[in-house]
């Protein structure tokens, strides 16, 4: 199992290009199953999760062609199977979202219950209730969800009990081929949902209201081919901005969208960063200064993203003052705290482990640490970058699921970081 060796103490400086959004691309690969003609998706990041989804499509008999620039062409009409196996679905939660498109297009689907990061309960009941509202028959058998429909799915009314990104995306894409109109309420509003809706509409769907809490889908009989470019990954962009700020450095990120990161950028300003923004670039300059501690509460978009919470804790570890970070989205999402404390951080958990109080220290000390989930992994890398001495981050396969060429990008910013093979 690969590890990362980081020799800390370098001030990060330089320029990067934002990768395409993983969470957009994954759902588009699933939604491509709805089309009768080939679709082309560009600006797809080269990540383990993307590879897994492509393997899953291949296991269904779908023809997938990839060029050297990671433009992906999907021919869903070559499909031979409607069963998504446990071995692939268990490693990545997003793969569960092939269930609805298979059902809507072909009238049947059998998909294993999902896996993914160990960050607390993430039930799929909202997905299944939404599919049932469209007329799907759902059965659970041997760890698989079996879904069938008699003819086309029917438009319906779907109300989500909470703001679920995956549920919103899953039902939205499924309803595109349902007969009649579907109205979804209490929808998530993330930019990736808008991106997916734009992709569906480019295939001939009629989706309205994406980015608001009410989405209306007027079903069509079929979807055609299209070409679509994935938006920038706001979590990756935010991660590198936070890393540079924690080090007191300076960074410019191209092909980014500042509008998708407004609350994050405001917190970085609070931390002392000077920001220069254009329509597609973000430039951050700490002018060599130590960051100031910030407090925040994670919340559904447009609030502060839970996927950047661990990174902000890493920044607070070496900031001036004390910051309070409250997690409201997922349970068990402070597993990185114990590893950071081993590096000399002063973090205590309160409120049934939902709030982290971080008292900044001038420097952390390098140590061997172990990653537990995707975002916790990269937060430990940031901690290593601002620590004295060497840090080894183990179990970095989590990072490879969500960060494209992480060590190369950090090396371009001057970091002393390299990948080690398994011991």
Active site residues: 117
CB 325 within 8 A of CB 312: yes
Summarize the chain as % helix, strand, coil (round to 5). 35, 30, 35
Residue 214 has a CB neighbour count (10 Å cut-off) of 12
CB 155 within 8 A of CB 221: no
Q: Is the peptide bond before 302 cis (omega within 30 degrees of 0)?
A: yes
Please give the backbone phi and psi of residue 195, each rounded to the nearest 5 degrees, phi first: -60, -45
HSE of 360, CA atoms in CB hemisphere, 13 A: 21
Among residues 75, 80, 116, the alpha carbon closest in space to that of 96 is found at 116
CB 71 within 8 A of CB 40: yes
Please give the backbone phi and psi of residue 144, each rounded to the nearest 5 degrees, phi first: -115, 145
Q: Given phi > 0 = left and psi -120 to 50 = alpha, else beta, which region is 247?
A: alpha
SS3 229: strand
Cross-strand pairs, 4: 393, 419
Among residues 153, 213, 157, the alpha carbon closest in space to that of 183 is found at 157
Place of tokens 């398994």: 422
Cross-strand pairs, 367: none
Q: Could you tell me which residues come within 8 angstroms of residue 193 by beta carbon, excluding any fewer than 6 positions away?
A: 165, 168, 169, 172, 187, 210, 211
């Amino acid at each position: 199992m690969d590890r990362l060796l980081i020799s800390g103490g370098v001030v990060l400086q330089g320029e990067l290009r934002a990768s395409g959004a993983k969470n957009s691309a994954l759902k588009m690969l699933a939604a491509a199953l709805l089309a009768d003609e080939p679709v082309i998706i560009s600006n797809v990041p080269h990540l383990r999760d993307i590879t897994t989804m492509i393997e899953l499509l291949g296991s269904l008999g779908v023809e997938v062609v990839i060029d050297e620039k990671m433009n992906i062409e999907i021919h869903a009409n070559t499909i031979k199977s409607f069963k998504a196996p446990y071995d692939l679905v268990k490693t990545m939660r997003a793969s569960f979202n092939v269930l609805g498109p298979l059902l809507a297009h072909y009238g049947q689907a059998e998909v294993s219950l999902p896996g993914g990061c160990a960050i607390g309960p993430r039930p799929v009941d909202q997905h299944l209730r939404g599919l049932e509202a469209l007329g799907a028959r759902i059965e659970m058998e041997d760890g698989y969800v079996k879904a069938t429909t008699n003819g086309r799915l029917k438009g319906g009314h779907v109300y989500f009990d909470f703001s679920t990104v995956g549920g919103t995306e899953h039902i939205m894409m499924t309803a595109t081929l349902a007969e009649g109109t579907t109205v979804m309420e209490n929808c998530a509003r993330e930019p990736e949902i808008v991106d997916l809706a734009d992709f569906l509409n480019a295939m001939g769907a009629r989706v309205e209201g994406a980015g608001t809490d009410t989405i209306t889908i007027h079903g069509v009989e079929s979807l055609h081919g299209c070409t679509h470019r994935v938006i920038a990954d706001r979590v990756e962009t935010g991660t590198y901005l936070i890393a540079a700020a924690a080090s007191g450095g300076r960074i410019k990120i191209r092909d980014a969208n500042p509008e998708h990161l407004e609350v994050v950028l405001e917190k970085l300003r609070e931390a002392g960063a000077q920001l220069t923004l254009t329509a597609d670039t973000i430039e951050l300059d700490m002018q060599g200064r130590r960051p100031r501690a910030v407090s925040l509460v994670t919340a559904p978009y447009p609030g502060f993203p839970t996927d950047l919470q661990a990174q902000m804790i890493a920044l607070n570890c070496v900031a001036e003052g004390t910051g309070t970070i409250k997690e409201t989205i997922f349970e068990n999402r402070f597993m990185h705290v114990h590893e950071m404390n081993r590096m000399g951080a002063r973090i205590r958990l309160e409120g049934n482990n939902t709030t982290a109080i971080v008292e900044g220290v001038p420097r952390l000390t390098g140590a061997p640490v172990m990653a537990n989930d995707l975002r916790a992994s990269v937060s430990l890398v940031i901690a290593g970058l601002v620590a004295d001495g060497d840090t080894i981050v183990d179990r970095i396969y989590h990072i490879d699921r969500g960060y494209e060429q992480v060590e190369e990008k950090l090396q371009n910013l001057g970091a002393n970081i390299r990948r080690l093979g398994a011991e």
